Structure 1
């Protein structure tokens, strides 16, 4: 087995520094009534944070590339008032999980998530995925269907090839994250990246520099794959998304997935989750409740 395709910290020191910052941030921003669960899978051990109500079909939260459960700190308390919440640190991303086998493609990604849900005894879930996490949720439904009650996508990956424009936006955001707080906040407006305004998340971004991510790049979903997705889907797209033309993606979703609902959020970019946290929280709660009411 080659280690070249396994995500990991560059050193024990980098991992220790990251985990110390993670723990401090978790204690500061996360609900006190949570518990952590370590789930063994074929691809490594996955850390899951469980909070919220004891009963009901849970929200299962999947962050974007380079993210972890902490990225949901603006949403998780209110979601937990509605139903159980499982926030996942995906294997292969900087977090409290560890990867020990390669994840080669969408099928492997789906298998990993299905193993996590099975170990948690989650037979039905409302999957919520941001960016790469949205692609992960769709891969799970395509390759291991049956557990998703609904899927909520927040400016998801997989609806076009990764462009130079998007990569430049990511790189500039990363560089801006290294600057002093006042300059970083000014850069947030210029780059249309609200994540740069979140001091808690940016503190984690700095200590994530010692992590090397080795997960597959999402290929564009085909028309046939989108037609295959019969589960209720809510797609919230940033009107100024740096990833793609949101209006075109919304039209494609509406055409190929008649049971899906696509909404373009004006002024938000790919930072939708952080830019419009109340809208995201409200839409997700309402969508899950409506789907259960008609099930």
Structure 2
């Protein structure tokens, strides 16, 4: 299986010109950035906040660098240290050198990143594809996970045609003039289309060939084996799945999980109300009991 990469040097240069500009405008200047070498490639991490509390570790969704958390990191870092990760194989500063072919591979990669940072235990926060990676890590390396906070995570069935159509529609709309893009954000249920600060970078990311596997569905047995306290926030209109059915399944199969549905939101729920979501994640982590 080939690794992800930019289509050509021009696509890479265009992306990083916009990436650097977006970071300068939106990301906290206090961020301490470094690279961690793993068996799957070099991984860029961004550390914010201070203190010795168990940190948040942030995993973005498919196609997005850690920068997608720009609206959340300040509130999160106000409560405990934050480590935002640019996964290998996604558009961003990390460089993939080996294919990731399973959820176990993703967990092995994350284990190497956390070990390289000297982080034995963390509160994992993930959305969409990153939420599935977090679930896989909780399955394969439970001792490292203090809690999970997942926003419309993958891993609950096959990727639907509805979701693929939504992704394609959003991608095409991102190239339309601003008034059209803003007007279509409502009917498409995609608030990202109104985020003018990041839209140039979103368009530049189409110059990247992403070659990751699709999330493999978690079985009922898998869910039952996840013992970490878990918060799952769903958009009631999620294009990824029937959110109410998934929430009911999680409640039934995961004894330590809490589910919440945002009535107005879809799969865009991570950006629906960033301040409110960050506050909820902070509160949930604070309520997590310390290990015995």
Structure 1 length-normalised TM: 0.97
State how far apart, in whole Å, the 1-side matches of 2:229 and 2:97 are. 34
1:184 aligns with 2:142: no
Moved over 4 A (4+): none
Distance (Å, rounded) in 2 between the aligned partners of 1:61 and 1:204: 20
1:227 maps to which residue?
224
RMSD of aligned C-alpha atoms?
A: 1.1
Q: What aligned pairs does 1:100-249 form with structure 2 within 5 A after superposition?
A: 100-249=97-246
Aligned residues: 292
Partners of 1:29 and 1:47 in 2: CA distance: 18
- 1:62·1:133 contact (CA, 8 Å) conserved in 2? yes
Which residue of structure 1 aligns with residue 45 of structure 2? 48
Post-superposition offset of 1:179: 0.7
- Comparing 228-237 with 10-19, greater Cα deviation is found at 10-19
TM-fit CA distance, 1:172: 0.1
Q: Which residue of 2 aligns with 1:286?
A: 283
Question: 1:277 maps to which residue?
Answer: 274
2:74 to 74, 77, 101: 77
Q: CA deviation at 1:294?
A: 8.3
Whole-Å separation in 1 of the counterparts to 2:37 and 2:168: 33
> TM-score scaled by structure 2?
0.98
SS where residue 26 of structure 1 aligns? helix
Contact 1:268/1:276, CA 8 A, preserved across alignment: no
Deviation at 1:129, TM superposition (A): 0.3
Structure 1: gaps spanning 5 or more residues: none
Residues of 1 paired with 2:174 and 2:78: CA distance? 33
Check the 8 A contact 2:44/2:94 in 1, yes or no. yes
Deviates more, 1:70-79 or 1:53-62: 53-62
Deviations 1:244-271 (A, max 9, x none): 1111111001100121101111111000
Q: SS in structure 2 opposite 1:104?
A: coil
For residues 212 and 202 of structure 2, what CA distance do their matches in structure 1 show?
18
Separation in structure 1 between the aligned mates of residue 239 and residue 228 of structure 2, nearest angstrom: 27
Q: Distance in 2 between matches of 1:179 and 1:113?
A: 37
Kindly state the Cα deviation for residue 280 of structure 1 after the two structures are TM-superposed.
Answer: 1.1
